Amino acid sequence: MTNPPTELASIDVKNPADGTVVGTIANHSSKQVAQMAANLRAAQGEWESIGPRGRADWLFKFQEWIYDNTNKIADVLQSETGKPRAEALTEPAVVTDLIGYWARQAEGFLTDGHPVQLGPMTIGKRLTTIYRPYPLVGVITPWNFPFTMPGIDVIPALAAGAAVLLKPSEVTPLSAAEFVRGWTEIGAPPVLGLATGDGKAGSAVIDCADYVQFTGSTATGRKVAVRCGERLIPYSLELGGKDPALVLSDADIERAANGVMWGGLFNAGQVCVSIERVYVEAPVYDEFLAKLTAKVKALRQGQDGRECKHDVGALATDAQRDIVQRHVRESVAAGARAVTGGKPASPGTFFEPTVLVDVDQTMTCITDETFGPTLPIIKVADEAEAIRLANDSIYGLSATVWSSNGERAERVARQLEVGAVNINDVMVNIFAYSLPMGGWKQSGIGARSGGAEGVRKYCRRQAITAPRIPTLSKEMLWYPVSQGTIDFAQTLLRAFAARGRRRVSLPKWLEW
């Protein structure tokens, strides 16, 4: 008889750029996670009661802490991801930016609503919508942006008045630990907890949360949805992508080449909204490819210290490097050609920035999410073919369109089956917190951000009706029933609801 595998009590965290162990974290058990959840719930009521302004004060204190600790946070980010310094520094910067937005806006977004509805049933009523937070929100994050990802979801949930239990990826938990350390160090109410560990710890978070915000792969997202469904709790999923770039014949080719390069290779291509497929209209294909290839060849790849010396860093894990290598190998075996890059670079988990040509729509580099520094380029005859191929994917996260004709670009954008389109730019929608960020098809369910919706999603809506005029001893439809009042009520309802007078049949005693 074989023994069941023993569960790890702790997990080592490695720097993928050089393989050194940079930290160790607990692999929390379900029992430990449940205890954390109970503590957070106990503190949530007071957090809710201090209101959006009281919470904004704490969020701004946290923002100050991030400003003061930016270099330390970037050090930790580099140590567990192998990112270049420049990319590590963007993460705390983004979080301070979004804190400013949610801390300033939450009060307005959470103000009671008083919708107006003219109708015989509601005319004498004051209608109110109020927003009350889910007591405990579980936030489960992936490894590609270990400080930004917690920020994007934890901050609006805290601003809403919820307590949050954060479960970062076991690959990169140290930056999330810094995030929670900061919250504790400023002396904020104990409404932010950190559960670390593998998928089981993530599952345990779902088992005790009232709402789950998940970011990660489509495969895990499906399991999260099943578990949330079993518990009948709401959730939002931000999943994988295979974003297309459409370079049209009237594009500014210099800008398009720069934008596609950055959009495809930023964070070594490990961004949910990385450009992973490029469709170029035939008249500008040669010029675009020549420019892009020359630019990609000139990129500097390697491990940074505190100085910003390199453009492209390592991949997060050996497994991720192997996926990228497999996609390139399979595509080359099917006829593709790497005009630059195409292989891993050691030591560490580096993979050369790669441009692939002679690619067709059936190759792995086009059908599967690569999450690496590869740019497969396909020549298309016209705009219609670009749109058709761009939409031919199980994913629908976002897309970019490159054209100097604004009307044309927007016409194309409106035909793409994706949650967001950036025209002549990349990723900018992510920093537009007033816009919804949510994938279509297998890229997600629900959305993060989106102005008021970004905070209200962490709230239960409560509807309250109250009389606004003196009440009678009974309403028209209350017992006992009578033909006269039913006829009158029906006429009144029809008079308000129908289009014109055609559907209003007057009771006999009102006919003329």
Active-site residue set? 238, 272
Closest separation in Å from C-beta 162 to ligand NAD? 19
Q: If you ran DSSP here, which 8-state letter would residue 240 be given?
A: -
Cβ nearer to ligand NAD, comparing 127 with 225: 225
Closest separation in Å from C-beta 314 to ligand NAD? 15
Q: Tokens 């497969």 correspond to what residue?
A: 376
Of the candidates 458, 415, 420, the residue with the CA atom closest to the CA atom of residue 439: 420
Q: What pairs with residue 398 in β-bridges? A: 420
217-231 burial string, b = 16+ CB within 10 Å, else e?
ebebbebbbebbeee
- Please give the Cα distance from 11 to 355 (Å, whole number): 36
Q: Which two tokens stand for residue 19?
A: 């393989």
- Please give the Cα distance from 357 to 379 (Å, whole number): 9
Q: Which range of residues in 51-59, 72-80, 112-120, 136-144 is near ligand NAD by CB under 6 A?
A: 136-144
Check residue 272 for interaction with ligand NAD (CB under 6 A).
yes
Quick note: the x/- pattern for ligand NAD over 397-436, rule CB under 6 A, is x---------------------------------------
Of the candidates 411, 434, 410, the residue with the CA atom closest to the CA atom of residue 424: 410
Is omega for the bond preceding 480 within 30 degrees of 0, making it cis?
yes
CA 27 and chain centroid, separation = 25
Check residue 238 for interaction with ligand NAD (CB under 6 A).
yes
Cβ nearer to ligand NAD, comparing 161 with 444: 444
Check residue 217 for interaction with ligand NAD (CB under 6 A).
yes
Closest separation in Å from C-beta 212 to ligand NAD? 8
Half-sphere exposure of residue 296: CA atoms within 13 angstroms, side-chain side = 32
| Residue in 216, 342, 419, 454 binding ligand NAD, rule: CB under 6 A | 216
Closest separation in Å from C-beta 114 to ligand NAD? 34
Q: Tokens 């469904």 correspond to what residue?
A: 229
| Residue in 92, 150, 193, 202 binding ligand NAD, rule: CB under 6 A | 202
Cβ nearer to ligand NAD, comparing 435 with 492: 435
Question: What's the Cα-to-Cα distance from 428 to each of 201, 423, 425, 435, 437, rounded to whole Å?
Answer: 33, 10, 7, 11, 11
Cβ nearer to ligand NAD, comparing 105 with 370: 370
Q: Tokens 């009102």 correspond to what residue?
A: 510
User: Phi and psi of 207, rounded to 5°?
Assistant: -65, -15
Q: Which two tokens stand for residue 99?
A: 């804190």
Q: Which two tokens stand for residue 211?
A: 């709402």
Quick note: the x/- pattern for ligand NAD over 441-460, rule CB under 6 A, is ---x----------------
| Residue in 23, 189, 199, 446 binding ligand NAD, rule: CB under 6 A | 199
CA dihedral of 241, 215, 401, 382, whole degrees rounded to 10: 20
| Residue in 82, 142, 150, 269 binding ligand NAD, rule: CB under 6 A | 142
Cβ nearer to ligand NAD, comparing 434 with 482: 434
Quick note: the x/- pattern for ligand NAD over 342-381, rule CB under 6 A, is ---------------------------x-x----------
Q: Which of residues 241-260 bind ligand NAD (CB under 6 A)?
A: 241
Closest separation in Å from C-beta 414 to ligand NAD? 22
Size of the site for ligand NAD (CB under 6 A): 30
| Residue in 37, 76, 140, 253 binding ligand NAD, rule: CB under 6 A | 140
Check residue 267 for interaction with ligand NAD (CB under 6 A).
no
Cβ nearer to ligand NAD, comparing 374 with 403: 374
CB 386, CB 407: distance < 8 Å = no
The residue at minimum Cβ distance from ligand NAD is 202
Check residue 15 for interaction with ligand NAD (CB under 6 A).
no
Question: What's the Cα-to-Cα distance from 384 to each of 107, 249, 363, 418, 424, rounded to whole Å?
Answer: 45, 12, 21, 16, 19
Check residue 220 for interaction with ligand NAD (CB under 6 A).
yes
Residues 6+ apart with CB under 8 A from 377: 278, 280, 285, 288, 289, 292, 355, 356, 357, 359
Check residue 29 for interaction with ligand NAD (CB under 6 A).
no
Check residue 239 for interaction with ligand NAD (CB under 6 A).
yes
Where are the alpha helices (H) located in 69-118, listed in sequence order?
A: 70-81, 85-109
Q: Tokens 């590869």 correspond to what residue?
A: 374
User: Phi and psi of 376, rounded to 5°?
Assistant: -80, 130
Half-sphere exposure of residue 192: CA atoms within 13 angstroms, side-chain side = 28
Check residue 275 for interaction with ligand NAD (CB under 6 A).
no
| Residue in 125, 132, 181, 223 binding ligand NAD, rule: CB under 6 A | 223
Closest separation in Å from C-beta 510 to ligand NAD? 59
Q: Which of residues 44-83 bind ligand NAD (CB under 6 A)?
A: none
CB 375, CB 265: distance < 8 Å = yes
Binding site for ligand NAD (CB under 6 A): 140-144, 167-170, 198-199, 202-203, 206, 215-217, 220, 223-224, 238-241, 272, 369, 371, 397, 439, 444
